[in-house]
Amino acid sequence: MKFSYNWLKEYIPKLPEPKQVADLVTRHAFEVSEIKKQKGDVIFDIDILPNRMPDASSHRGLAQEIAAIMKLNLSAKGGSASGGKSQKSKFNLKKKKLKKNDLEISILDKDTVLRYHGALIKSIKIKPSPKWMQERLGALGIKSINNVVDITNYVMVEYGHPLHAFDYEKIHGRTLTIRKAKADEALETLDGVSHSLSDDILVISDKDRIIDLAGIMGGKNSEMDPKTKTVFLQVATFEPTFVHRASRILKKRTEASLRYSAGIDPNLAGLALERALLLLGELADGTVTGFIDIYPKPVYARHIRFRPEKANQVLGTRIPEKEMTSILQRLSFDVSRKKNAPKELIVKVPSLRRDLELEEDLIEEVGRIYGYDQIEAKRPVGELAPAAIDRHLFFKEKIRDLFRASGFDEVRNYAFIGEKHIADLGPQDRSALIEVENPQSREFSHLRPILLPSLAYAVSEALKFSKDIRYFEVGRVYQWLPVTYRDTPDLERLNLAFAITHAKNQEGSQAFFELKGALDTIFESLGLHDVWYDDVPASPETLTQGVGRFLHPYQFSEIKLGEKKLGIFGMLHPALKKKFNIKDDLSVGEVFLDELIGETEKEKEYRPISKYPAVTRDLAILVPRDVRVVKVLDIIENTGGSLLTDVDLFDMYEGDEIVDGKKNFAFHLIFQSTDRTLKDEEVERVMQNIIKALEENIEWEVRK
């Protein structure tokens, strides 16, 4: 935003050199991004913060800020129109109420207009602005049009409140209506651009057509020309969200919309109108015939408690109360002492400072004007308590480390899913989806209930560049609960998904068993030695919180600890392989980490690692196809005794070389003693006992 050094100097005659001004403003208020000399003046380009637009987007407001920093008062002659003479208004804005037969104002949506102020001026003489005004506006990048338009722009950059002048004779029906546009309406603005409008855009219309984009730009159909004799001068304060939305939709940013979008103090309207009428009387010979002021909910100054002692504690300073009071008063705040509270002050903050609401805001103002560079740097003093361990964070990192060590790469997908993934979910899962209120696109319309759809899609994309994929993802999933929940975290769960692929033409491709082996290693590392895999005969669609729907109906297993379900894994469903165009073997799964964390935190028994070597034996057995792995494992483990320390299924086969109706299981059996080296005879004796126990089932055959 541009500001003139010469103009500021009218308010502050003792204003220092431009570079010093820029340094003061940057250190105490706003960043000065550029200083530029221009025809006997110096122009500052200053980044006014959005929350300070209401009070600091004008020359008058910025001069007040600089004066407060420099401990100076504003000159009574500041900002005069010509020659530096102080001018007082000759108008009483409460008199000469506008007659309805002259102009009727209607506001259809009351919440869109905070204040509607204006005046009808007759006998206007349209002519060029005086040279001093043209030069001042030109230095700020504002093109001179004529005396009336230039006055509205001049007052805007002087006081910070936009104004707009309508050619009264071009207002059909002598009515102005502030309303929202209709979908089929359009308007050509003063810059010659035609805009198609929607019902999100606030407009001003007369009896027959739209003549103004409220808070943005006037219409071509109501602009002034050399024949204009009567002007209606509008000084309206629009609700900022409506102007900001319309400006964004129309992609039209103006000096007016910039100020309206940040919010304007309605009380500025009276000052801006009075100043504009003063200039019109001097430069356009106008005569005011009536005023209008619709101000249903006046905005008043706020009273905020201020404790100098607390201010010093927060800032780490020893600023005297007298100096704090002086700073607040220089910022145009009234300061008084609170009754029956000698250490507390009451600060009356003008409505112009919309950004100040709390005592902490006033403390920041004191520190800012006092100067942060004057505050002595001190080391903090106090107790430093160790932070509580975040068990979820610690556990997630441990899981990540274990998967990386097993050769997996981590992926991170969006927490949102769209139509293409929702279609793969079951009816129950779809009914529990959480919809996003304002999604960026259709592909981000809902929060994901499980991780597998996104992970499977990531694998399908990666397969375009590589054949062997080992991916995992740790992330949150979201579902509505059938019971009352206290807060949104109650709708979240922490899950882990994983996937392994093998090329179809790779000899001995066993993606399912490779994934199972990786899971065994990870569970062992977590101290979970009793995890087992239940190849349940039920359909996977009914299993494990909807994850099973994504698995092959005959090639999957639930992951259990005791009878608690920790997750599920298996081969990807053929229909999904086809959808994602995956031709290779793909084994996937998902584990519920919240359940897993609870199990890993249970009390564990310490057992020293045996210093004696382990002995490994392999065992293959033919069983009927309906026999579950867990049944075979139970017999082996119960018969093996204390010398049998581990049993791993490393192969499961059904094919032409196997008797019809049968399948083959192959196990690694590991034997180890804590007090001696085992002899072959001991291991063989236990193996024979296991074989004998297995063959008690007449349909089972141990292969020798």
| List of domains in the chain | 2-70 (3.30.56.10), 104-294 (3.50.40.10), 302-371 (3.30.56.10), 392-603 (3.30.930.10), 615-703 (3.30.70.380)
**Rounded to an integer, what distance in angstroms lies between the CA atom of residue 379 and that of residue 306?**
26
* CB of 391 closer than 8 Å to CB of 451: no
* CB of 257 closer than 8 Å to CB of 106: no
- Flag whether pLDDT at 393 surpasses 50: yes
**Rounded to an integer, what distance in angstroms lies between the CA atom of residue 557 and that of residue 588?**
11
Sign of torsion, CA 527 532 538 539?
Answer: positive
pLDDT at 197: 95
Arithmetic mean of pLDDT, 285-296? 92
Q: Which tokens hold the place of 567?
A: 């997750």
- Flag whether pLDDT at 582 surpasses 50: yes
**Better-scored residue on pLDDT, 697 or 507:** 697
- Flag whether pLDDT at 89 surpasses 80: no
* H helix intervals, 319-451: 321-330, 359-370, 391-405, 419-422, 427-431
- Flag whether pLDDT at 507 surpasses 50: no
508: confidence class by pLDDT, cuts 50, 70, 90: very low
Dihedral pair phi/psi, residue 187, rounded to 5°:
-150, 135
Which of 78, 59, 9 has the alpha carbon at shortest distance from 20? 9
Strand partners, 531: 561
**Rounded to an integer, what distance in angstroms lies between the CA atom of residue 391 and that of residue 575?**
39
pLDDT at 483: 61
pLDDT at 262: 93
**Rounded to an integer, what distance in angstroms lies between the CA atom of residue 638 and that of residue 233?**
96
pTM of the model: 0.61
Rg of the chain over all Cα atoms, to the nearest angstrom: 39
Arithmetic mean of pLDDT, 436-454? 85
Q: Please write down the long-range contacts of 38-43, taking CB distance under 8 Å and 24 or more positions apart.
A: 38/139, 39/135, 39/139, 40/6, 41/4, 41/5, 41/6, 41/139, 42/4, 42/5, 42/6, 42/18, 43/2, 43/3, 43/4, 43/5, 43/139, 43/140
90: confidence class by pLDDT, cuts 50, 70, 90: low
Arithmetic mean of pLDDT, 617-621? 94
15: confidence class by pLDDT, cuts 50, 70, 90: very high
**Rounded to an integer, what distance in angstroms lies between the CA atom of residue 22 and that of residue 421?**
56
**Rounded to an integer, what distance in angstroms lies between the CA atom of residue 433 and that of residue 422?**
9
Q: Are strands 470-478 and 409-410 parallel, antiparallel or unpaired?
A: parallel
- Flag whether pLDDT at 505 surpasses 70: no
Which of 386, 389, 387, 399 has the alpha carbon at shortest distance from 600? 399
- Flag whether pLDDT at 86 surpasses 60: no
- Flag whether pLDDT at 427 surpasses 80: no
Residues with Cβ < 8 Å from 29, sequence gap 6 or more? 52, 56, 65, 69, 368
Q: Which tokens hold the place of 196?
A: 């198609």
- Flag whether pLDDT at 46 surpasses 80: yes
Arithmetic mean of pLDDT, 293-297? 94
Average pLDDT, the chain: 88
* CB of 556 closer than 8 Å to CB of 534: no
* CB of 537 closer than 8 Å to CB of 626: yes
Q: Mean pLDDT highest for which of 384-393, 543-552, 560-569, 608-617?
A: 608-617
- Flag whether pLDDT at 93 surpasses 60: no
pLDDT at 604: 66
**Rounded to an integer, what distance in angstroms lies between the CA atom of residue 81 and that of residue 275?**
10
Arithmetic mean of pLDDT, 180-190? 93
In terms of phi and psi (left: phi > 0; alpha: psi -120 to 50; beta: otherwise), the region of 401 is alpha
Question: What ranges make up the beta strands (E) of 168-306?
Answer: 175-180, 186-188, 194-196, 202-205, 210-213, 217-218, 231-238, 287-294, 302-306
pLDDT at 512: 83
- Flag whether pLDDT at 543 surpasses 60: no
- Condensed to tens digits (0 to 9), the pLDDT of residues 303-345 reads 999 999 999 999 999 999 999 999 999 999 999 998 888 889 9
